[in-house]
């Protein structure tokens, strides 16, 4: 049995944590005793299994980092889950888990069937600067994932409040003010990280090749996403965009980042 089976096992554990978080919603309960501890334990176990499977893929070689698609998707998911665990420790179980847990379970479950998931050289680095660029990029992607989930929650809650129809799901969400505050804190963090990622990536290109590959799809999509987020923060500071518009813009920027890091490679793999 390949150790990569640990990825879907980790995905099932994450889905089990998602079920625990969703139980108060469909049972119309305030909370479940020891829910936070159980969810935290399941997510920690999921992270441990994912890390074991990731290490078994030997992503670190003497010549640098050699990522497969499976390793890249798994590491990005692990980073998101670690940030979520930190949130549990600081704020307890809140509405974020209703969405972030299924979202992080999905890539782990799909790792065995992703096209070229285990083909070598999907991402291969050859220098410390490029390693730094890769790590910062994955952290930026993880933080923007959390911002995108908050954007979805904002849109759901805002729509429900305007229609005055508060479903059980909506009632389980944090207050709109808290969602907005956390969402923009994550946007600011993601914007900073994406900016650093672009700078380290361009610096590496210059040192390695003596030129900038600005017309590479990854660079262009990352630049578009960064520009959208910078514009969003500028509009936020001037109170020019309402929360609904801001949330949609965040989702658009996130879609560009998904295409930049994973989407184009997946599409190319499926086409060929």
52-109 tens-digit pLDDT: 988 887 777 776 677 777 788 888 899 999 999 888 887 765 688 889 999 999 989 9
pLDDT at 120: 56
CA atoms within 13 A on the CB side of 66: 12
* Stated pTM of the model: 0.86
pLDDT at 100: 93
**What mean pLDDT is reported for the chain?**
83
> Distance between CA 64 and CA 19 in Å, rounded?
39
Pick 164 or 230 by higher pLDDT. 230
| Degrees, nearest 5: CA angle 259-16-30 | 105
**Average pLDDT of 5-10?**
91
- Return the domain boundaries, the chain: 1-118, 125-272
> Distance between CA 37 and CA 231 in Å, rounded?
40
**Average pLDDT of 118-146?**
78
Residue 60 pairs with which residues in a beta bridge? Answer: 65
Q: Compute how many other C-beta atoms are within 10 angstroms of the C-beta atom of residue 149.
A: 27
Q: Is 54 exposed, middle or buried (0-12, 13-18, 19+ CB in 10 A)?
A: buried
pLDDT at 96: 86
> Distance between CA 71 and CA 69 in Å, rounded?
5
pLDDT at 203: 85
The token pair that represents 24 in the structure block: 């108060």
> Distance between CA 137 and CA 135 in Å, rounded?
5
């Amino acid at each position: 049995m390949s150790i990569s089976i640990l990825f879907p096992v980790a995905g099932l554990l994450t889905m089990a944590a998602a079920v625990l978080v969703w139980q108060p919603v469909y049972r119309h309960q305030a909370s479940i005793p020891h829910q936070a501890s159980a969810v935290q334990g399941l997510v920690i176990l999921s992270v441990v299994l994912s890390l074991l499977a990731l290490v078994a893929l030997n992503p670190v070689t003497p010549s640098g980092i050699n990522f497969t698609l499976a390793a890249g998707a798994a590491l990005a998911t692990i980073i998101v889950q670690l940030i979520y665990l930190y949130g549990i420790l600081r704020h307890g179980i809140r509405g974020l888990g209703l969405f972030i847990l299924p979202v992080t379970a999905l890539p782990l479950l799909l790792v065995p069937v992703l096209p070229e998931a285990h083909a070598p050289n999907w991402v291969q680095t050859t220098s410390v600067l490029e390693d730094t660029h890769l790590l910062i990029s994955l952290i930026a992607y993880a933080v923007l994932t959390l911002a995108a989930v908050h954007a979805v929650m904002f849109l759901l809650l805002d729509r429900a409040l305007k229609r005055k129809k508060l479903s059980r799901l909506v009632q389980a969400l944090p207050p709109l003010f808290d969602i907005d505050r956390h969402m923009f804190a994550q946007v600011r963090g993601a914007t900073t990280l994406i900016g650093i990622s672009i700078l380290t990536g361009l610096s590496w290109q210059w040192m390695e090749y003596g030129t900038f590959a600005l017309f590479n799809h990854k660079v262009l999509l990352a630049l578009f996403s960064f520009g959208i987020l910078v514009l969003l923060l500028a509009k936020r500071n001037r109170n020019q965009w309402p929360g609904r518009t801001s949330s949609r813009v965040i989702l658009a920027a996130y879609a560009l980042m998904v295409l930049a890091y994973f989407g184009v490679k997946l599409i190319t793999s499926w086409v060929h």
